[in-house]
Amino acid sequence: MNSTGENDLSKLCIHTITTRPWKIEETAQHFSAAGIKGITVWRDALEGRNIKQTGKMLLDHDLTIVSLCRSGFFPAKDSNKRKSAIDDNRRAIDEAADLGTPMVVLVCGADPSQRLEDSRKQIQDGIGELIPHASTAGIRLAIEPLHPMYADTRSAINTMKQANDMAEEFNSPWVGVAVDVYHVWWDPFLEIEIKRCGENGHLTAFHICDWKVPTVDMLLDRGLMGEGCIPVKQIRSWVEAAGFNGFNEVEIFSTAYWKENQSEYLRKIIKAYKDHS
Ligand code: ZN
């Protein structure tokens, strides 16, 4: 915050998926012109491009490349699928290194045809298998706990406690935790687990948006900060009290906002960030 009590833009990062209708080259121009300093790149935004050149293009726009989203999806009953997931995660680590970002965010995955406990074990094995590659490449893996409504197919890691437990078990500088308010705002142990995460040096990313009431689509109806019921400022204060001083990353999947004029939408994002984050 600056002296007027408003957020300046120095810690604002926006995910490419938030303004998905723009190609990454347009995104860079618009973010840069608006004074935004951070970008998190989704892998689909890199399709058909030279990744190193794209990374340089982003740096030329004075953007810090906060992370690459996303890989993970480790669990599968079928061992061939688990193996191809590991291969894909290795590729994601290489892509992050080429892009020039220090972090890959993990959506850990789940296979509804097996028990959550089995999926968790496979997540643990998968991350363990990747650590040497991540270490060589200098890329940190951030475990992002997902809201339990996604425990069927997207993630068997659903609370900060589970993410902290796993990160602590690895006790590796290459494994951290990404806190996304959309997934964890409801958790009665959130403050204490954020504190624990920071104290152990695992708090590596902070994602913001809002939970709309009602939410009409489980995946593609996220709101701008201030539009819903998540106490974003309060959670941010816990994250910062835990020692985090990285970017606040606006990550919004919204069919409705993707239909809007994206320049108008970007202005709304900046206003919501200043007023409600
Ligand atoms: Zn997120």
What percentage of the chain exceeds 90 in pLDDT? 97
- 179 within domain boundaries: yes
pLDDT digits (tens, 9 = 90+) for 141-159: 999 999 999 999 999 999 9
- 64 within domain boundaries: yes
pLDDT digits (tens, 9 = 90+) for 198-219: 999 999 999 999 999 999 999 9
- 2 within domain boundaries: no
- Domain of residue 218, residue span: 12-270
* One-letter amino acid of 77: K
pLDDT at site 226: 98
pLDDT digits (tens, 9 = 90+) for 235-253: 999 999 999 999 999 999 9
Residues with CB under 5 A from ligand 1 (ion): 180, 207, 251
- Cα 6 to ligand 1 centre (Å): 24
- Is the pLDDT at 186 greater than 90? The verdict is yes
Q: Averaged over 246-264, what is the pLDDT?
A: 98
DSSP string across 130-183 = HHHHHHHHT-EEEE----GGGTTTTBS--SHHHHHHHHHHH--TTEEEEEEHHH
- 7 within domain boundaries: no
- Return mean pLDDT, the chain: 97
- 188 within domain boundaries: yes
Number of domains in the chain: 1
* One-letter amino acid of 211: W
- 95 within domain boundaries: yes
pLDDT digits (tens, 9 = 90+) for 38-52: 999 999 999 999 999
- 233 within domain boundaries: yes
pLDDT at site 7: 79
What percentage of the chain exceeds 70 in pLDDT? 98
- Cα 137 to ligand 1 centre (Å): 23
Q: Which position has the token pair 């491009």?
A: 49
Inter-residue contact 230 to 275 (CB < 8 Å): no
pLDDT at site 4: 52
- Cα 35 to ligand 1 centre (Å): 22
- 5 within domain boundaries: no
- Cα 248 to ligand 1 centre (Å): 11
- Cα 37 to ligand 1 centre (Å): 18
Q: Whole-model pTM?
A: 0.97
Q: Averaged over 56-66, what is the pLDDT?
A: 98
For residue 247, give the CATH number of its domain.
3.20.20.150
